[in-house]
């Protein structure tokens, strides 16, 4: 006897956007230059014969120190920055479908818990329910419950993502384009059809 897998129509989930801001303010030349000039003036008072040397030392030290501080700060700030691979799981939260047909692949992604469920189809007699995780642009499935299916591909990488369309390439080389039901990826007619398919699946 086939064990039914219960699914429910997805609800609209609000995505969390993260923004990183930064600032870099270099103002070394003025203050260091001023200190260097005062030092030169002191040397001139103590030794009138070394007036020229005192002024040059103060100006040169001030300018060079100020410029070096500014350049170093700018370069360091520019080289910093987070390197990311693939969209964050918060951007993928929700239910993704390949099509509005019974043979559609389906990912259910819960960003809050980090849990990922994968259904190989909505054919009640030929499907697999798999459990996994998502990180750094890769879906990794750890185990599957088979209900007449024979799914064996346990890893898929995100190759393209624009907010509504999610392109995945399985380790076998198969590429699928999935759409999110809650972000306008499906028309009203397709949503109605998916609802009918899921109801029949649950009833089976």
Average pLDDT on 143-159 reads: 94
Residue ranges in the chain assigned as alpha helix (H): 28-46, 51-79, 188-203
Spatial distance between the Cα atoms of 118 and 176, rounded to a whole number of angstroms: 13
Instruction: Decide: 42 and 65 in contact? Cβ < 8 Å.
Output: no
Spatial distance between the Cα atoms of 9 and 156, rounded to a whole number of angstroms: 24
Spatial distance between the Cα atoms of 39 and 34, rounded to a whole number of angstroms: 9
CA distances from 32 to 51, 76, 149 (A): 20, 20, 73
Average pLDDT on 102-129 reads: 95
Residue 17 has pLDDT above 80, yes or no: no
Residue count of the chain, please give it: 204
- pLDDT score recorded for residue 142: 97
3-state secondary structure of 187: coil
Copy the structure tokens of residue 44. 């001139």
Average pLDDT on 105-133 reads: 96
Residue 66 has pLDDT above 90, yes or no: no
Instruction: Decide: 181 and 94 in contact? Cβ < 8 Å.
Output: yes
Locate the domains of the chain by residue range: 28-79, 89-203
Residue 71 has pLDDT above 60, yes or no: no
Instruction: Decide: 74 and 26 in contact? Cβ < 8 Å.
Output: yes
Residue 168 has pLDDT above 90, yes or no: yes
Residue 171 has pLDDT above 90, yes or no: yes
Higher pLDDT, 67 or 125: 125
Higher pLDDT, 48 or 176: 176
Instruction: Decide: 96 and 180 in contact? Cβ < 8 Å.
Output: yes
- Domain over 89-203 is classified CATH 2.40.128: yes
Question: Which residues have C-beta within 8 Å of that of residue 162, sequence separation ≥ 6?
Answer: none
Residue 150 has pLDDT above 50, yes or no: yes
Higher pLDDT, 92 or 65: 92
Which pairs with CB-CB distance under 8 Å and at least 24 residues apart come from 164-171?
166/92, 166/96, 168/139
- pLDDT score recorded for residue 84: 56
Higher pLDDT, 42 or 147: 147
Average pLDDT on 166-176 reads: 97
Residue 173 has pLDDT above 50, yes or no: yes
Q: Which residue's entry shows tokens 């103590």? A: 46
Give the torsion through C-alpha atoms of 119, 124, 126, 130, to 10 deg: 20
Q: CB neighbours (10 Å) of residue 151?
A: 17
Higher pLDDT, 21 or 26: 26
pTM score, whole prediction: 0.61
Residue 190 has pLDDT above 50, yes or no: yes
3-state secondary structure of 146: strand
């Amino acid at each position: 006897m086939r064990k039914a897998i219960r699914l429910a129509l997805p609800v609209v989930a609000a995505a969390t956007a993260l923004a990183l801001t930064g600032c870099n303010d270099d103002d070394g030349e003025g203050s260091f230059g001023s200190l260097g000039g005062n030092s030169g003036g002191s040397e001139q008072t103590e030794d009138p014969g070394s007036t020229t040397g005192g002024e040059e030392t103060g100006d040169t030290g001030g300018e060079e120190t100020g410029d070096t501080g500014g350049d170093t700060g700018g370069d360091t700030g520019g080289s910093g920055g987070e390197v990311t691979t693939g969209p964050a799981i918060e951007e993928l939260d929700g239910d993704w479908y390949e099509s509005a047909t019974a043979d559609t692949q389906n990912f259910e992604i819960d960003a809050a818990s980090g849990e990922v469920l994968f259904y190989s189809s909505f054919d009640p007699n030929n499907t697999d329910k798999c459990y996994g995780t998502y990180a750094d642009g890769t879906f990794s499935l750890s185990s599957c419950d088979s209900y007449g299916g024979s799914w064996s591909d346990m890893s898929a990488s995100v190759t393209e993502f624009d907010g509504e369309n999610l392109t995945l390439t399985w380790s076998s080389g198969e590429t699928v384009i999935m759409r999110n039901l809650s972000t306008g990826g499906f028309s009203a007619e397709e949503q109605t059809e998916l609802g009918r398919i899921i109801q029949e699946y649950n009833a089976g």
